[in-house]
Structure 1
Amino acid sequence: MARRQFQLPELDEAFLDTLGLAWETIEEGGVQWLLLPGHGLPDGFDRLVVDIAIQISAGYPAAMLDMAYFHPPIGTTSRRPIPNADVIQILDGREWQRWSRHRTAENPWVPGEDDLSSHIHYMDAWLVAEIERI
């Protein structure tokens, strides 16, 4: 059974349920995390599927979501290094690769418009952009 150590906003939970994945919320070291198993990756990565962790910021949804963590760590099939993806964090007893990607002035977090679904779509865009850099 999926762990639900805290609740997300109702719209986020409804979005996650549409994915058909056994998502979980956990709290570790006073930090809240969403764990999303079985997320597909675009062609060009050395794995087809990974688990994703997203830190749920204090003050979310007014406060932005930032970065994403992947387990197991991922690389490109070209073996080209991925910038700003070299930090490993232990979470839930597993090693997670942090991808340090942030909103910009051109693409800011907009409270009331942005949410978990927009963050996941933004994250998917990073993944595609990384492969297109090859």
Structure 2
Amino acid sequence: MRRDFRLPEWDEQHLNGRGLPWETIVDGKQRCLLVHDWALPEGYNHPKVSALLLIPSAYPEAALDMVYFRPDLQRSDGKKIPAVSNHSVAGEPWQRWSRHYTSANPWRVGVDDISTHLTLVDHWLAREFDR
């Protein structure tokens, strides 16, 4: 696994504790965290995917945003997943899920980090079936 840049120690400890393969890559000016073998809730077209987060240079003071999946996700029931689009990151096709922090649920500097964002990603994946 590549480690093109280091994350804060607490993030690396969290990622290692998840037991999933992960890597950091630099693609041009983008810093990317890839987490592989991400288990999905039932109802998607794949049991596992890779998840990608763009890591701002000012992180952890700067908020994380969205998530990208590879391969693309679809609901098994055929319903469309809203606010997704295809993008190339690190020369590979990724499906971007446009999900953001809001004024009601803001990024909290000193509290939020990769672990809280990944928990939110799990919430987004599960909540998709509440629509």
Task: Sort the TM-score into its range (normalised by shorter chain).
Answer: over 0.9
Q: 1:80: which partner in 2? A: 79
Give the aligned CA root-mean-square deviation in angstroms: 0.8
C-alpha separation between the residues in 2 aligned to 1:66 and 1:79?
A: 26
Q: 1:127: which partner in 2? A: 125
**What stretches of structure 1 of length at least 5 have no aligned partner?**
none
Alignment of 1:1-134 (within 5 A): 2-85=1-84, 87-133=85-131
The answer to whether the Cα contact below 8 Å between 1:45 and 1:131 also exists between their aligned partners in 2 is no
* TM, length-normalised to structure 2: 0.97
C-alpha separation between the residues in 1 aligned to 2:130 and 2:45?
A: 15
- Deviation above 4 Å: which 4+ runs of structure 1? none
* TM, length-normalised to structure 1: 0.95
Secondary structure of 2:12's aligned partner:
helix
The answer to whether the Cα contact below 8 Å between 1:6 and 1:27 also exists between their aligned partners in 2 is yes
The share of aligned pairs that are identical, in percent, is 43
**What stretches of structure 2 of length at least 5 have no aligned partner?**
none
C-alpha separation between the residues in 2 aligned to 1:92 and 1:60?
A: 20
Deviation at 1:12, TM superposition (A): 0.2
Letter in 1 for 2:2: R
C-alpha separation between the residues in 2 aligned to 1:89 and 1:20?
A: 27
C-alpha separation between the residues in 1 aligned to 2:112 and 2:12?
A: 14
C-alpha separation between the residues in 2 aligned to 1:23 and 1:92?
A: 15
